[in-house]
Chain A
Amino acid sequence: MWAFGVYLALACVAAAAARLRPGAVLRRLAFELPFVVFALLLPLTGGGRETVAGLSVEGLWAGWNVLAKATLGALAVVVVSSTTPVAGVLRGLEALRMPRAFTSVAGFMARYAGVIGDEARRMRIAQQSRGYAPRWLWQARAAGSAAAALFVRSFERGERIYVAMLSRGYAGSLPAAALHRAGRADWVLALSLPLAAGAVAAASWT
């Protein structure tokens, strides 16, 4: 119980140290909302014989647990993602010996998610401009063919990117990113938060 409070305090200290504005953090936390809805449903559907005001006690505890853990996790993710650019996260993972194949794939995803998203948006606007406004399931066919077209386009883009890579001397492995070597002070600072959280977890274990 008390451990959640300490975790929350740790995350808030980290956010404050990073000079994140509380409003911005709260807005970015909104991606957690679906889990919140799920957590609110648990007291209504949870089993167990004990009830309080018609709500299942077991469900209340389960809902509280989901809510607290999801919020803390989301808060930590928001702090990391608002202070570290994608390239920095990938570099860090590489420094921690994550295989290059994974970081490369993640890098390409980060680079092209927006490009492909834009393509999808343009296709949808083009469909709407020609009066496509699906209301019923059997009208979804165009959406299916749009998805197929998007897949083919992305595949072709992949080939063009590969040719562009070959043209600049690519020979099968991406060059290692220039790493900023972490010094002792960096490690101490970076590990202080996880170690503190670990200590709390150990102390609250019953």
Chain B
Amino acid sequence: MDLSAVDARGLSFAYPDGVLALDGVDLAIGAGERVALLGPNGAGKTTLALHLNGILEPSHGTVHVAGLPVTKQTLKEVRRRVGIVFQDPDDQLFMTTVRDDVAFGPANLGYRGEELDRRVEAALDAVGMTAAADRPPHHLSFGQRRRVSLATVLAMDPDVLVLDEPTSNLDPAARRELAEVLDGLRVAILLITHDLPFALRVCDRSVVMDGGRVVASGATHDLLADEETLARHRLELPYGFIPAPRTPNSDPRSRSGRSPG
């Protein structure tokens, strides 16, 4: 049996003030699959993400990560396997140097010494930030902090990356660089975003949430062509943007050459 990287079934969750944020959500992500999670503000996207690594506990439903049920006993393993990159890098980077911050996760997993150093170096290398290892995070540009945030999670060697609005506040070049960094990774990705062209660039499949439910799911290209569904859920393509018809050569990931290995 091919185990899904993440399998959420019938998730419901209400915040203490009574707001029902999730109302029976099903979501499965295959190993190595890239899925965009789209939807208007307040749809429950981030709330769903916080269930995938057990920060929030559902009032109903279950989450399995690589076949492992998310419970108090499995939290450590679940948080190694599901890495969340939060929206604001200043929340994610809390140590005094980049190196210490990237080492935080693997050190919590019990790595020390050379193995820890190796993981830190590899993670920084994957995002092209090796040169900044000994700098304090607040001396980096916003785009650089974003990439280091990604490295802090990569250092834990996750199966699934959850990216919460990774392109917000990025300039176009930094946004393209981020897509290229993601191309080089061999992990499953759940991309939470309002940036529909970026979703198309990175993810083959998309899921639309609205009002705490999954309301649409399908190939990203087909979904973005479905004006009616987009409009119903307050999703809009940027002015003048028309997804190019799909041809075997139009996939930027095959052009930039996703490295096998």
Contacts of A85 in B (CB 8 A): 96-97, 134, 136
A169 contacts B80, C-beta separation under 8 Å: yes
Contact among A165, A166, A171 for B94, CB-based, below 8 A: A165
Report Cα–Cα, A115/B93, bound state, in Å: 11
In the complex, residue of chain A having the shortest beta-carbon distance to the beta carbon of B49: A167
**Residues 104-123 (chain B) with a chain A CB within 8 angstroms:** 104-105, 107-109, 116-117
**Residues 94-153 (chain A) with a chain B CB within 8 angstroms:** 107-108, 110-112, 114-115
Contacts of B109 in A (CB 8 A): 169
A168 contacts B104, C-beta separation under 8 Å: yes
Contacts of B204 in A (CB 8 A): none
Segment at the interface with B among A12-20, A53-61, A156-164, A189-197:
A156-164
Task: For residue B96, give the distance in angstroms from its CB to the closest CB of chain A.
Answer: 4
Scoring A residues 64 to 108 as 1 if CB is less than 8 Å from chain B, else 0, what string do you get?
000000000000000000000111001000000000000000011
Contact among B107, B116, B137 for A111, CB-based, below 8 A: B137
Contacts of A164 in B (CB 8 A): 84, 86, 91-92, 94
Contacts of A108 in B (CB 8 A): 94
A175 at the interface (CB under 8 A from B): yes
Chain B interface mostly:
helix
Contacts of A161 in B (CB 8 A): 91, 94
B96 contacts A86, C-beta separation under 8 Å: yes
- What's the A-B contact tally at a CB cutoff of 8 Å? 82
| Chain B: number of interface residues, binned into ranges | 20 to 34
In the complex, residue of chain A having the shortest beta-carbon distance to the beta carbon of B156: A168
In the complex, residue of chain A having the shortest beta-carbon distance to the beta carbon of B52: A167
A111 contacts B55, C-beta separation under 8 Å: no
Contacts of A90 in B (CB 8 A): 96
Contacts of B92 in A (CB 8 A): 164
A170 at the interface (CB under 8 A from B): yes
B103 contacts A178, C-beta separation under 8 Å: yes
B50 at the interface (CB under 8 A from A): yes
In the complex, residue of chain B having the shortest beta-carbon distance to the beta carbon of A166: B55
B50 contacts A163, C-beta separation under 8 Å: yes
A199 at the interface (CB under 8 A from B): no
**A residues bordering B, Cβ < 8 Å?**
85-87, 90, 107-108, 110-112, 114-115, 157, 160-161, 163-171, 174-175, 177-178
In the A-B complex, the 3 residue pairs with the closest CB atoms: A175-B107, A169-B108, A168-B105
